[in-house]
Amino acid sequence: MRLASSLLALAAAGFLAGCTEKDCTQEIAIQKATDLTTRIEALATSDPAKVAGIAPRLQSLSRMIAGGDDDLTATCKALDEMLAELAK
């Protein structure tokens, strides 16, 4: 899915700046984004309606990542929330 691939690309690019957060490092955030992308791609084939339903939230998350915010804790929290939503 194009949005999922874009999300991963933005995550990788957006997290290039250093961060001193202990709860969410650059590596952890990238791994969460990778996990989310994998789940979205799998869901796109099994339940495209669900992906369509969460698309606005995915776009918001992509904008957060693209914004290059140095607050990785907020980014990790948003990624965790999305991963939890997809696990339902």
CA angle 14/16/21 to nearest 5° reads: 90
For the chain, what is the total number of helices (H) and then of strands (E)? 4, 0
In a domain, 71, yes or no: yes
Whether 18 shows a pLDDT value over 50: the answer reads no
In a domain, 82, yes or no: yes
Split at pLDDT 50, 70, 90, the class of 5 is low
Domain that holds residue 41: 2-14+25-87
> Which candidate, 79, 13, 1, places its Cα nearest to that of 46?
1
In a domain, 20, yes or no: no
In a domain, 19, yes or no: no
Interval 51-80 mean pLDDT: 84
In a domain, 66, yes or no: yes
In a domain, 80, yes or no: yes
Total domains, the chain: 1
Q: Residue 19 region, left (φ>0) first, then alpha (ψ -120 to 50), else beta?
A: beta
- Summarize pLDDT for 21-43 with one digit per residue, the tens: 457 888 898 899 999 999 999 99
Distance CA 48, CA 64 (A): 23
In a domain, 79, yes or no: yes
